[in-house]
Amino acid sequence: MSDQENSEKKNQEYWRGEVDEIRKDSVHGSHFLADQSLDIIEKFIQKRDYNNRTELFQSFSKLVNALVRAKPLMALIYYRSHRILDFIESLPKEERDIKKVQKMVLNEIQVIRTESVEREKSLIKFGARMILDQHTLLTHSSSRVVEKILLEAKRLKKHFRVVCTESRPLYEGRDMAIRLAKAGIKTRLIADADLPRVMNEVNFVITGVDRITETSFINKTGSYAAAIVARESEVPFYIALDTAKILPKRSYPAKFVSVNEREIFDKKVNELTVENFYFEEIPLSYVHKVVCEAGIFETEEYFERFLNF
């Protein structure tokens, strides 16, 4: 490949750096990163480094693949980017005006944003219903939707308590605990390994979800331990999610890798291997109820309605 061709490719794939920032982001949750991804997609469509639909589809496909590979366990990125890709492919073949195509795709992006906001509002409403006065609930990691559910319950003047785990190694659970306390919610912060001590005081556990498959849900490491301890203590385990996070394994395999090992231990020791897996897979058999934008469901009912592919 000549220097000129390399330069042209670099200009066409200017978004590589932005996608890499999403790949490196270990702090923010799936909703935030999906929103960032949608911003990148919108900028790509607006920039219009394409002359016809074929060029648009081919170059956009590269961007979609890069975004999905950046966060393969975050189903919302997959859902939104592939929905736009399918939208482009479904446009009438006779439509050759690239400006009209661009306008239609940009409009679809706005539709996705509007739908996402409405679904989240509905999900928060249903989630807040599950919290009753004098409840104590436990959550692991930091889920935007779980936090909004708790804040909505507080707005409704419900009196409840929350237990948050630190959520090592980046302590996003600790940060969430601070935000909840500042909002006036009575909050306790515990170490991840301290779950068994407090579980008998809890009415239910609720976590967010990064992805839900045919048989499992994927969330921050430590969620599986919380589910096991909850079952042993006969405490219900609930998950809260937008149904756009449904992504079967046969559509896209779930791969788990160790990253940023220095967050756990930053020294080199002979014969010592450090592993830092951010995400893990939890069987749906541990889940009692699922709250989504369509309502609150027993797990079997949710499976029949949304996961019976």
Through-space distance between the first and last CA atoms of the chain, rounded to whole angstroms: 45
Q: Where in the chain are the domains? A: 3-120, 121-307
Helical residues (DSSP H) of the chain, grouped into ranges:
3-12, 16-24, 30-47, 53-70, 75-90, 98-129, 144-155, 172-182, 195-199, 223-232, 299-302
- Tell me, yes or no, if the two domains 3-120 and 121-307 fold the same way: no
How many whole angstroms separate alpha carbon 207 and alpha carbon 258? 22
For residue 169, whether the previous peptide bond is cis, meaning omega lies within 30 degrees of 0, is yes
| Confidence at residue 94, expressed as pLDDT on a 0 to 100 scale | 81
Average pLDDT taken over every residue of the chain: 93
- The pLDDT tens digits for 146-188 are 999 999 999 999 999 999 999 999 999 999 999 999 999 999 9
- The pLDDT tens digits for 178-199 are 999 999 999 999 999 999 999 9
Q: What are phi and psi of 247, to 5 degrees?
A: -145, 100
Closest CA to 119 of 172, 68, 79, 86: 79
- Each residue of 152-191: b (16+ CB within 10 Å) or e? bbbeeebebbbbbbbbbbbbbbbebbeebeeeebebebbe
Residue of higher predicted confidence among 212 and 3: 212
- The pLDDT tens digits for 102-141 are 999 999 999 999 999 999 999 999 999 999 999 999 999 9
**CB under 8 Å to 264, separation ≥6 — which residues?**
169, 274, 275, 276
User: Is the Cβ–Cβ distance between 256 and 73 less than 8 Å?
Assistant: yes
* pLDDT band per the 50, 70, 90 thresholds, residue 53: confident
Strands 216-220 and 186-190, bridge-based pairing? unpaired
| Percentage of residues in the chain having pLDDT higher than 70 | 96
* pLDDT band per the 50, 70, 90 thresholds, residue 46: very high
* Bridge partners (DSSP) listed for residue 300: none
How many whole angstroms separate alpha carbon 69 and alpha carbon 81? 12
Helix (H) / strand (E) containing 206: strand 204-207
- The pLDDT tens digits for 246-259 are 999 999 999 999 99
| Confidence at residue 10, expressed as pLDDT on a 0 to 100 scale | 52
pTM of the model: 0.91
Neighbours of 209 (CB within 10 A): 26
| Confidence at residue 167, expressed as pLDDT on a 0 to 100 scale | 96
- The pLDDT tens digits for 17-41 are 999 999 999 888 899 999 999 999 9
* Bridge partners (DSSP) listed for residue 224: none
* pLDDT band per the 50, 70, 90 thresholds, residue 6: very low
Quick check: 50 pLDDT over 70?
yes
- The pLDDT tens digits for 232-241 are 999 999 999 9
Enter the CATH code of domain 3-120: 1.20.120
Quick check: 9 pLDDT over 70?
no
Quick check: 302 pLDDT over 90?
yes
**Homologous superfamily (CATH) for 121-307:** Translation initiation factor eif-2b; domain 2 (3.40.50.10470)
Contacts 24+ apart (CB under 8 A), 230-233: 230/199, 230/202, 230/205, 230/286, 231/286, 232/196, 232/199, 233/196, 233/199, 233/200, 233/202
What tokens appear for 83 in the block? 């929905």
